[in-house]
Structures are given as C-alpha cells and as structure tokens.
Chain A
C-alpha cells in the first residue's frame, strides 16, 4: 500500500515547503498545490458527490493551510493528515447545513429535460461506486474513502477522524458490506449484465 500524497525522495517535505511558503516563496505555493491539491479535491468529491461543492471545500481547505503556515509547528502533525481532517470537517459542515434546510421550503424541480438520474451523471459524473457511496452514512463514507481510495492506514484514519482504530475497522467493514449490497441490486440498471 503506497503512502498518500507522495513526493520524490529529494524533494523538500511538506513541513519544509510550508516554512518556505510562510517566508514568501511562490514556488513553495505551487509545489504544495500540486502535491496536496488533487487529493484534497478528490476526497471532498468522493465524500460530497458534488463537483462544485468539492471545489469550494478544497479551495477553503487550502486557504486554511496558507493561513496556518506561519504558525505551523514542525513535527507536531503531518501536513497531509491535518489537511484531510480540515477537508472532512468542511464536508461535514456542508452536509449538516443541507440537512438543516427545510425541505418544504424547497420548490419542486421542474421535470423538463433529462431525467434526474441522467442529470446526476451528467453534472457530477458520478459513477456507480459514487452513487453507492452517497447512500452510506457520512462517517462510514469518510472511512471507506480514506481507506480504500486514498489508501491510508487505519491508525492514520483514526487520527484524522479522531476515533479509535477499532472504530475505523468497524466503519470500513460495515461500509464495504453496504456498498456490495447496494451495487448488487443495481447490476442490470448500470448495464453490468453485458460484461
């Protein structure tokens, strides 16, 4: 299992790049964006299932990284771990706000144009896995994404989600079972019968 957010062996570590950034080095900003930006965006996209929201979350998470750079204590925490945690918290904030919206106040969507399923696939390009992921509870989805897509270790996920390693194992196991069940019922719908 590879380490997340890899960097070449001779490249400065994330901590060192943050120090350079805090000292005004523009190249450090580019290096950090190249190294950390894609994973931040990928996690947000998988957890939220919405491209626009994921972009907003990833941009905000990186903004918080830029702001914390001068106060960053080297060796206290991995930059990537800190960034994953910030990203997931921002995702949870969005989910909580969405749940607090009064559904009665939302107007019925117009039924013109492509079907709801088609629009979901067109606008956010969700694949079958993504749609199944969105059926999981938030914490299960986060744990599954970090374990099986980001390939983080259970202890690192435990640190990011502030739970025990046992809790991570439980969340990922239940998440995988739920995904398998959700996808097995959609085989024909998704066109996998032809494979």
Chain B
C-alpha cells in the first residue's frame, strides 16, 4: 500500500459507496421539502404590495394618477405664463411700491385720483 495504484484502488472502493442515502435521511429531506412548499403556499396570498403599488391604489389607480399629473402640469404652466385676463401672480406676492410726488402736484403715475376717490 505504498504506491499510487493502491491509493487509486481505495478511491475506487470509496466511489462505490457514494450513491447511498440512508432512508431516514431521505425521509427527513423530503419532509423539509414538503414543509417549505406548504409554507410558501400559505405565504403567497399574504404578500403585501410595495409602497409604490399602495400609493397608486390610494390615488385611484393609473386613471387617478394621470389626472393628478395633468393637474400639476397645468398649475405649473399657469403659474409661469398666466393668460392676459388674469392678474400677474408675481404682483400679489411682491407688493409693488409706487412713489408719488405730492409736494409739486405732479402725478406722473396717474393713479393718485383713484386713490383719493377710494379714501373719500
């Protein structure tokens, strides 16, 4: 048993035993498999939808989501380029300062009569 041929013979003998699986071990493996399959079957219906899916459902699905997107786009557009018949929204945010020279009676802006009339 000192040369490679003896060792190769021992390897060959070992290979004849490699296909044996004890019955009890095989049964345990199959029981595990059945347990995993059964667990998976009961888990699947309970799977929760993702955050995005929940948000989409809360807003009424794709129809509601597209309506919301359209409304947002229209709001941004009106804010940036308002129609002529609407006042400039920037004027509401930043109150315009107007300087009127009362001492010399020169109203270059032409708004003084209106202000005096409103105040009585």
A-side residues, CB < 8 A to B, are 21-22, 24, 26, 29-30, 32-34, 37-39, 41-42, 46, 55, 58-59, 62-63, 66-67, 69-70, 127-130, 148-151, 176, 179-180, 183-184, 187, 192
**Could you count the A-B residue pairs with CB atoms below 8 Å apart for me: how many are there?**
96
Apart from A41-B22, A127-B10, A183-B2: 9 A-B pairs, beta carbons within 8 A: A21-B37, A30-B30, A42-B17, A42-B18, A55-B28, A66-B33, A127-B14, A179-B7, A187-B2
Contact B26–A42 (Cβ < 8 Å): no
Interface residue SS majority, chain A: helix
Contact A58–B32 (Cβ < 8 Å): no
What separation, in Å, do the CA atoms of A38 and B37 have in the docked complex? 22
The size bracket of the interface on B is 20 to 34
CB < 8 Å neighbour of B21 from A37, A67, A128, A148: A37
Q: Is B101 an interface residue (CB 8 A)?
A: no
Contact B2–A39 (Cβ < 8 Å): no
Which residues, 57 to 84 on B, are CB-close (under 8 Å) to A? none
A38 neighbours in B (Cβ, 8 Å): 18-21
B30 neighbours in A (Cβ, 8 Å): 29-30, 33
A148-B11, A149-B15 known; A26 vs B1 contact (CB < 8 Å): no
CB < 8 Å neighbour of B33 from A33, A42, A46, A184: A33
Q: Which residue of A lies closest to B24 (CB)?
A: A55
What separation, in Å, do the CA atoms of A21 and B40 have in the docked complex? 11
Contact B20–A176 (Cβ < 8 Å): no
Q: Is B90 an interface residue (CB 8 A)?
A: no
